[in-house]
Structure 1
Amino acid sequence: MPESIYAADVFDEFFDDAAVFPPGRAPLEQAVVDHIARRGTPLARLVGPLLLPLDALNTAANLVDTSGEGPLRVGVVVPAGGLDTALAAAERVAPAIRVGGLELKTDDLDPRQVVADAAALTERFSVHVELAVAHIRAGVLDAFTGTDVRLKARTGGLVAEAFPSVEDLAEVITTAVAAQRSFKLTAGLHRAVRYRDDSTGFVHHGFLNIAVATGEALAGGDAAAVAMTLAETDGSVLAERFRAIGTQWRTMFESFGTCSITEPLDTLDDLDLIPNIAPVHGH
């Protein structure tokens, strides 16, 4: 097995803590306490910022003990049209909270204008703009050229229609790779390998599928080949391919938001893909 796959940093800050978002919907106080408590565990280096909706920022700041181990690092999900409010809030909640990232929704706004607004902020924040598959097909990713704005895309939700097909997701990945634009993903990525949820009937993408598919795209694979990788459901096949691709995929696939840190890590543990981490189960 290539040693690079077991590099200490292969999954560093890969799992953004989206505990307060559905379907988990953890109470804000619990999410803050759990996120801070995780700093002292072997899993700390794998976890990215605590993701919060803009309207939770003030309350979260009141929950942080500023006499502790430094500020709470947060990424803020900003509703369409809420950028000015978010910038003011980021200053107001310091020093209890350090807003390191902004994730901008576009909804009915002109996505190109949202990208232009975001580009002015990248020296202060890591800024992602969420695009739909239709935006990707319309060439909106061209608006990112010459900026440090990053892409965010949705991979699931609370309704079946929120889950892109393997073909749609393959188009997002290959277009992003061709544009050399890194991306983060949100929603639905609960497990390493593609699966069907028995309780909802929804078919979820696997984040390991996406990692392998991204590596394949970087190696020149086309959308059809990437879609086939996204559709793979055999964990042993994926694990073998993952061990062979090295770590370049992380230059494109930055992270994803997950309402549970332990569930995705458990599924990696089952595939023996996190040997440098203390046992996940029970954390």
Structure 2
Amino acid sequence: MHLFEYSSPKRSDKCYLQSMKRNTLFVLLSILITAALTFLITKFILDLSSKDRLMEQQNNYDTAIYFNEICIGSEYEFVLPLTHKFTKPGKLYVVKDSSYTEQMKFVTEVLKEFNKLTTDGFHITQTSDSASANMYLYLRGDKDLTKIPRFAKAPVDDGLVGYFDSRFTDNRITDAFIFVNTNKTFSEQKAAILEEIVQSVGFFKDSDFYTNSVFYQYKYLFKVKTHTLSFQDKEIIKLLYNPKMKVGLNKRQAMEINMMLLKESDDRR
């Protein structure tokens, strides 16, 4: 009869088994750590994305509110609280009592910057033919303001830098008349040229929402230089002169369209 003898595992076998256990534990631990890190990173990205979306929505809402603040109605009670805009191209004729070379250069810059923002076919060009113009910019001293028939009833005081008067039919702007006081500093004239040209085409109101906006109502009081359009200014110009924005819309209707347009803009980025 053959007898099997029991022999205890060799030391090398024990070390091998212990090593296998350690390796298995290490692999399992690595998997758990990797899974945990993946979960945390994914959660962080999702949270960040969610925060970005919420921020975009808030920014869009703020822009739509600002649009209503500037573009719905006017500071004059007889103007209905609705959207107004030009539906035909603007032709600007400049009436001046001197060459005003620097002012004219700045007018060109303003029109170039504005025209980049419109997408509904509206744009403003300068013309030398006063009869064909539908926008008139007067560069003169304030003492000449009331001598201009269109501005006969305009409020004249020492603080007057710029003024505009737009005419419209069925909420469609047909003509715009703009005055800039050349007795003021050149910096103030630049701010007025930019503001009054833009305001005359449908941005009828001032605001204290954004201090860097051309529509900031206290800029002359606090010596704020607004020689370029702010981000918010550009956004609401894009909105008003978008093909989907119509004349005669109230605040609720404008809000709905603007939130849709702003979301579409976000989706394209």
| Common fold: TM-score over 0.5 | no
Q: Greater helix share, 1 or 2?
A: 2
Q: Structure 1 length normalisation: TM-score?
A: 0.26
Which of structures 1 and 2 has the larger relative contact order (alpha carbons within 8 angstroms, sep 6+)?
2
Of the two, which has the highest radius of gyration?
Answer: 2
